[in-house]
Structure 1
């Protein structure tokens, strides 16, 4: 199986009907392709990164949505399709999902998926959080400000980014540092 291509095909089926979300996913995957060169990423790591980038938002698709927490819903769907566990877990935990799980009371459910602390996770976070909703490149702080403006103060996503911004931003810093060394 060509994991990145299989992932792209599935994402296209599930996410392309979602308008700008598809623009975002395509741009995140394109950015992930560029980040494959991060120091320490071999072919397996690079394939996992690109596949996860294609799949990170499939939990928004109506066919996939169960809890309304897209990271968890997407990971459960991928696990049911028997995708590689590493990709499933990267999708489950992308871009600070562990913080949002707490806000939604779903931390036990998310704990069914291993949290990977690695250059691959950092690169996935960097690709996602430096890409705007319409697929354009943006700085991390711009992206988080846009998310905060989109969700009302009491919403779990707004609460997540108010609390997690600094810690998740460190993933972007680590990725940029790795890139500067290549």
Structure 2
């Protein structure tokens, strides 16, 4: 997808991540590539997915860190600094079951109030799929391997480790739904 919103999103993500966090930038590019691969199941939402995919981790940029919770920091940056598309901002804010991590951080009410979850379940699932089947270096992986990598990187008893353990069934279900939608596509 190469529309105006996705070109803008890529430029913003690159400006914020490429030098400050090159590995996070590689991951974001890989997630965007995965979004291109699932575009066919989303019809009119493909550009929104592509934009959210490349921007989903922009809140990790050191200069944007306010709360330390990257979905919230990134969404606020996109909303407040760039006046970005509301649906894009809400998708970034809620990527990969962020509400569950927000609960671990005592920020669930804040996230839900500022950025309500989108109603399009397949779109939300597609971003989970893209993020959770991409390694930190931007390579394709299985969701199970990605979950294990996150747990190993942060530690099973860390805040992120607890979140991932809690979110795992929902992450795997989202990935399965997207895989089923991809399999049902006419070839």
2:11 counterpart (3, 9, 12) = 9
Identify unmatched segments of 5+ residues in structure 2.
none
User: CA-to-partner distance for each residue in 1:88-123, whole Å, 9 max, x for gaps?
Assistant: 000000001010000000011101101124211111
* Aligned match of 1:89: 90
- TM-score normalised by structure 2 residue count: 0.93
> Higher RCO, 1 or 2 (CA under 8 Å, sep at least 6)?
1
RMSD of equivalent CA atoms: 1.1
2:107 counterpart of 1:106? yes
* Aligned match of 2:51: 51
In structure 2, C-alpha distance between the alignment counterparts of 1:124 and 1:54, rounded to whole Å: 10
Identify unmatched segments of 5+ residues in structure 1.
none
* Aligned match of 1:63: 63
Count, aligned residues = 179
In structure 2, C-alpha distance between the alignment counterparts of 1:167 and 1:125, rounded to whole Å: 10
Moved over 3 A (4+): none
> How does 1:1-182 map onto structure 2 within 5 Å?
2-17=4-19, 18-38=21-41, 41-43=42-44, 45-80=45-80, 81-111=82-112, 112-117=114-119, 118-182=121-185
